[in-house]
Amino acid sequence: MSEKEISAVKFVRGDITDISAIEHALAEQKITHIIHLAAMQLPFCKADPPLGASVNVQGTVNIFEAAGRCGIHSLVYASSTAVYGLGDEYPSGPLGHDAPLKPRSHYGVYKQANEGTARVYWLDNGISSIGIRPYVVYGPGRDQGLTSTPTKAMLAAAAGRPYNISYGGRFGFQYADDAAKAYIDAARVDFKGAEVFNLGGETVGTDDIIREIEAAEPSARGAIRYTDNPLPFPELIDNAPLIALLGNLRVTPLARGVRESISIFKRALSDGSITAD
């Protein structure tokens, strides 16, 4: 975002585990819509499971509870593809949003718990919610978590540095701008109930990403590598139900998303707003 865009945003500093702070912010700012993204990602949940549960699980309960106390009767929140198990645990083909959940990490378990929390708040309190399960989100701002390394590779290419992406295989790849638009559209749709949807995106391989990085920044040719360790999630994800709810989801082509990301990183590196470290 530009300085002008950032200056138009009202920031309120707080702690997701402090329900009184959340309730105060919702009331004081006269909030009407909530998009709940606060979470500790992998590998941070693995490093400190109690803190991860406090932030990811208790924090989500606090959001729902504070929303109800403030008269907000619907919200959108981020779940994750991490609620699923290994690809070979499911039938072949795109995985539906109603497939059995078999998380293999504390992070995935916490996200599964949040989906249950959302369902109970609908049943008990009439608070509607839409949960969205992204896969690998990439682009400027994606600088933390297990799946952030393709974005860090783009930053490294912009800075003229080598980089090793921490995994291989094929997976759903979603440009951050597209993911943001999906969450915003979901917050505005007229929806009653508590449902969770796969975000979907373009299915690509790590080789494809490196190829587009090199095309966008030829000086990076041969400097971006990867460890051939596939992510522990199914390759193909079905997002047809979310498309039916929101209309066509925007999917930026991989080449354009990578090119735009590297261009943004170059400008940010040039003006000193970010570093390559």
> The CATH number of the domain where 171 resides is what?
3.40.50.720
What pLDDT, on the 0 to 100 scale, is given for residue 91?
87
277 lies in some domain: no
34 lies in some domain: yes
Whether the model clears a pTM of 0.75, i.e. scores above it, the answer is: yes
Please give the Cα distance from 210 to 258 (Å, whole number).
10
276 lies in some domain: no
CB 32 within 8 A of CB 72: yes
Domain that holds residue 24: 3-271
What pLDDT, on the 0 to 100 scale, is given for residue 277?
78
Kindly report, residue by residue over 213-239, the tens digit of the pLDDT.
Answer: 999 999 999 999 999 999 988 999 999
- Provide mean pLDDT across the span 131-152: 94
- 88: confidence class by pLDDT, cuts 50, 70, 90: confident
229 lies in some domain: yes
93 lies in some domain: yes
Which residues lie closer than 8 Å to 81 by C-beta, 6 or more apart? 133, 134, 135, 172, 198, 233, 234, 237
